[in-house]
Structure 1
Amino acid sequence: MSDTLKTTISTVKRGLKRAQYDVTTAHQIIDATLLCHIGQQMNGQVFVTPTCHWREGDYLYWHAHSKARNTHGAVKEAQKVCINICELDGLVLARSAFHHSVNYRSVTLFGVPESIEDYAEKVRHFELFVNKVSPNRWSKLRPVTEQEVLATGLVRIKIDEASVKLRAEGVIDDAEDMDWPVWAGVVPLTKHWQAPAQDAAQTIDYPNPEMPNAK
């Protein structure tokens, strides 16, 4: 795999100084997040579908119902999809409305989805996904059934055409605005998991689940 994800399509046109194309940074953002948005076009209509994702090696994976638009439909159409993953890290409050911004980490990927049909491979990837959501949980669950596996579509795209955009800095104001009498700075955003709330239908207390490191 190339060490750059830059192609004609993935080249950023605006905000060039915030753009990156290195594989390592893209993988880090993909692994640190749980939710992506998949954009695709079918019959002349654009659709955007939010879903959870995971990565193994050079591939980004997602799942849905076997007949869903973003699995079955995406493979059937054999058209490129555009996937965005973005995390908000803070509000940048400037001295002027024009220079307000946000700190963020974002990856935009392009690729033609391919379906994973091998039964054992599907089960292996469902395990990877569940354990990303809650580490080591798969082995504690009721075993998956054949009907469940067949009813779930699994697709992937290769991570070889993408762009990363990042902002992780303070206020950038015009020199003539520096004495304007308003608070300026960054309001950081941090997210954390709250204490798990056990299902009311359970009559026995079980250990709390392990939560992912995604933020």
Structure 2
Amino acid sequence: MQDRPEEAQAAVYAPTDRTVPTRSADRASYDRELVHAILDEGYVCHLGFVRDGAPVVLPTLYGRVGERLYVHGSTGSRPLRTAGGSGLPVCLTVTHVDGLVLARSAFHHSVNYRSVVVHGVAHQVTDPEERRLALDALVDHVVPGRAADSRPADRKELAATAVIRLDLEEVSAKVRTGGANDDPADLSLPYWAGVVPLRKGYGTPVPNADLAPGIPLPDYLAAR
């Protein structure tokens, strides 16, 4: 899947009314490289849409290929079926929490974070080659190299799986770093203030109980 030429050349996404925050605008960024890095580091997105006049937000896996995000689900899912027509207006978000910010005042407690918000219209993927590409991207997003090291979906599984595509066009990132922003009058208060960093780590892989003897741990897992 090739990026569109103008998107491949632009270093930033164009701000829109929906991607310019009303608060803490200095934390917003439209840098394409930053957006991609935040998306590529995550595992779960939250997909928001309106169903029967009410908001719905679903946590789900996703994968990125160039300037497109792919999300999959059951063909019985109503929102995924809706995306097969004129498309489904959605808002997709990904967030990393990097630290707990403890302030002297309760009001100024916060978190350090990196987030991406994508607005757009999602469309169902029906082209067989793009569906294959999307499903491989979803698997490799979780563990790079895994798609080539597992059985691909068969015809029955493909028939039960719907994939939707969301183009990265109306996009923004938002980042908070640093310590607590206490009021000057509170700096002398006898309370600890600072940041508790949060770190993502990987445990030792645990083989399935029914794993055939002699199958070694793949290199892409041993390196984690």
* Structure 1 residue ranges without an equivalent (≥5): none
Measured in 2, the distance between the counterparts of 1:77 and 1:47 equals 19
Could you list the per-position Cα deviations for residues 113-145 of structure 1 after superposition, in whole angstroms to 9, with x for gaps in the alignment? Answer: 111111222122212221221222222222421
Q: Which residues of 2 match residues 5-154 of structure 1 at below 5 A?
A: 5-76=14-85, 78-154=87-163
Contact 1:5 1:22 in 2 (8 A): no
Q: TM-score, normalised by structure 1?
A: 0.91
SS of the aligned residue for 1:80 comes to strand
SS of the aligned residue for 1:136 comes to coil
Alignment CA distance shift 1:208-1:5 (3 Å) = farther
Measured in 1, the distance between the counterparts of 2:31 and 2:178 equals 20
| Amino acid corresponding to residue 141 of structure 1 in structure 2 | S
- The RMSD of aligned alpha carbons is 2.1
Measured in 2, the distance between the counterparts of 1:185 and 1:91 equals 8
Alignment CA distance shift 1:77-1:46 (3 Å) = farther
Alignment CA distance shift 1:87-1:118 (3 Å) = same
Contact 2:51 2:79 in 1 (8 A): no
Question: Which of the residues 188, 194, 201 maps onto 1:192?
Answer: 201
SS of the aligned residue for 2:91 comes to strand
Superposition deviation, residue 52 in structure 1: 0.7
| Amino acid corresponding to residue 137 of structure 1 in structure 2 | R
Contact 1:109 1:162 in 2 (8 A): yes
Q: Relative to structure 2, which stretch is displaced further, 198-207 or 166-175?
A: 198-207
* Structure 2 residue ranges without an equivalent (≥5): 1-6
Contact 2:62 2:141 in 1 (8 A): no
Measured in 2, the distance between the counterparts of 1:5 and 1:86 equals 21
Alignment CA distance shift 1:163-1:140 (3 Å) = closer
User: How many aligned positions are there?
Assistant: 214
Measured in 1, the distance between the counterparts of 2:80 and 2:185 equals 53
